[in-house]
Amino acid sequence: MIRIITDSTCDLDAGTARDLRIDLIPLTVHFGEETYVDGVTLTREIFYEKLAAADKLPTTSQLNPQDILDHVKPYLEQGDDVVGIFLSSKLSGTFQSASIAADMAGSEHFFLVDSENVTFGLALLVRIACRLRDEGRTAAEIRDAIDSMKKRVRLIAVVDTLKYLQMGGRISQTSAVLGSLLGINPLVGVIDGAVEAIGKVRGKKAAYRHLLTLFEQETPDPNYPMYFGHSHASESMEELREYILSRTPGAPQEVYSAEIGPVVGTHVGPGAAGLAYIAL
């Protein structure tokens, strides 16, 4: 049997994980002295409530090698193959921990992928891995396919507030104040495994138009699903979904949604909406 494991930063909920037959290993989130388990003792609603009240950004702790080894060892001992797809090594040391765990396991049946993605970009790759598993691919074939495909993931989001980018040191306080006065909406994306600013426009409608332009420049492969995601802003996500899909008849028909969790949500804050897809 092939087991697919990932970490909670893919932002798939527990029900979806059960349906896909994947294992989620949760990271921990720290608000000052308070520690929470992502998706277990910290729901998205509570996370954004606490984020709005925080005067200092929360932090996340990477999975340690023993966490991962404890999770996969029973599978390996019963003869299963394990494919582990983890968040970008540029955002966390979790993938390095997974590599150490693989060495500790001493098994040729533990296959790893540094997704170079996070949130619904990572969820997209995990879904594709599940499809390949269900098609009868071997664990090595799944690993190789996802490793090859990860460079084709495009994740773009429109940010609603500059507050958290400024708190995280990604923009200056002066830029944040001026940008807020002018109604600036930054666009962010995952570029080479890191969250980067990729543009800024005035007003959400203009931001959606700019996002559509980027979408059209690197069109999606209709053979793979696409994701729409949001940070405590489902209405904005639905608005963006309608805007994009109504203007791109060739977009994938298989469409999913997810709510952005602590790793990305800490930096973009509430109100963000975006999409992820596999580019042709």
Q: Which tens digits make up the pLDDT trace of 117-148?
A: 999 999 999 999 999 999 999 999 999 999 99
pLDDT per residue as tens digits for the range 15-38 = 999 999 999 999 999 999 999 999
Q: Are residues 50 and 58 in contact, defined by beta-carbon separation less than 8 angstroms?
A: yes
Three-state secondary structure call for residue 158? strand
Those residues whose C-beta lies under 8 Å from the C-beta of residue 4, and which sit 6 or more positions away, are 20, 21, 22, 23, 82, 83, 84, 85, 126, 129, 130, 133, 142
What's the CA gap between 28 and 35, in Å, rounded? 7
Residue 86 has φ and ψ, to the nearest 5°, of -120, 165
Strands ordered across the beta sheet of 153-158? 194-202, 184-191, 153-158, 273-278, 226-230, 255-259
pLDDT reading at 115 higher than 50: yes
Q: Are residues 200 and 187 in contact, defined by beta-carbon separation less than 8 angstroms?
A: yes
Identify the sign of the CA torsion 136, 138, 139, 144. negative
Q: Which CATH number applies to 2-149: 3.40.50.10170, 3.40.80.10, 1.10.1370.40, 3.60.20.40?
A: 3.40.50.10170
Q: Which CATH number applies to 153-278: 3.30.1180.10, 3.40.980.10, 2.30.29.30, 3.40.50.720?
A: 3.30.1180.10
Q: Quickly state the pLDDT bin for 49 (edges 50, 70, 90).
A: very high
Q: One-letter amino acid identity for 61? A: S
The per-residue pLDDT for 178 is 45
The per-residue pLDDT for 181 is 44
The per-residue pLDDT for 174 is 43
Please name the residue that has the structure tokens 């984020």: 51
The per-residue pLDDT for 266 is 85
The per-residue pLDDT for 200 is 84
Q: How far is CA 116 from CA 105, 191, 227, 257, 262, in A?
A: 24, 8, 16, 20, 17
pLDDT per residue as tens digits for the range 181-200 = 446 788 888 999 988 888 88
Domain ranges of the chain: 2-149, 153-278
The per-residue pLDDT for 167 is 64
The per-residue pLDDT for 179 is 46
